[in-house]
Amino acid sequence: MSEEAFDSEENQEKRKKKRATSPSSIQARELERLMRRPDREIDLSAPLKPPLPPPPDIVNNVQGSSAGASSGEFHIYKVSRRREYERMKLLEEEIKHEINEREFNIARETMIKKDEEKTAKNRAQRQKLQN
């Protein structure tokens, strides 16, 4: 099938009236679209998380709860407090992620060592039986 024919099919799909679709019809349409060009590669990698801006390491103008006690300053204090809590939350999540990653790697390494020891033992027994 040529590129022009493929393009015209896509244009025809776009021209069709949009109707309420069920999940099964959506999936069927998606499968049809994918099977039109089976030679084309499909990227199945996991979707990336939306990148968050890195939390600032130094925050200027950090106020205490008693600073700017007038009613006009309350909203400024509230926003800065929310920003600070968000920054602390991101830092804690990052630390938690690093700890979990480290624990996972340690557990994985111990399991790999254990498996290697067991296979070495079994290999030795097999060689002993062969001789």
Decide if 88 contacts 56 (C-beta within 8 A): no
Would residue 122 count as lying in a domain? yes
Would residue 22 count as lying in a domain? no
Would residue 112 count as lying in a domain? yes
Would residue 96 count as lying in a domain? yes
pLDDT for res 103: 97
Q: What letter would DSSP give residue 61?
A: S
Instruction: Return the structure tokens found at 32.
Output: 């049809």
Would residue 98 count as lying in a domain? yes
Helix (H) or strand (E) holding 116: helix 74-130
Would residue 56 count as lying in a domain? no
Would residue 83 count as lying in a domain? no
pTM score over 0.75: no
Q: Which domain holds residue 95?
A: 90-131
- Please state the domain count of the chain: 1
pLDDT bucket at 97, cuts 50 / 70 / 90: very high
Instruction: Return the structure tokens found at 77.
Output: 């204090």
Would residue 102 count as lying in a domain? yes
For the chain, the average pLDDT equals 81
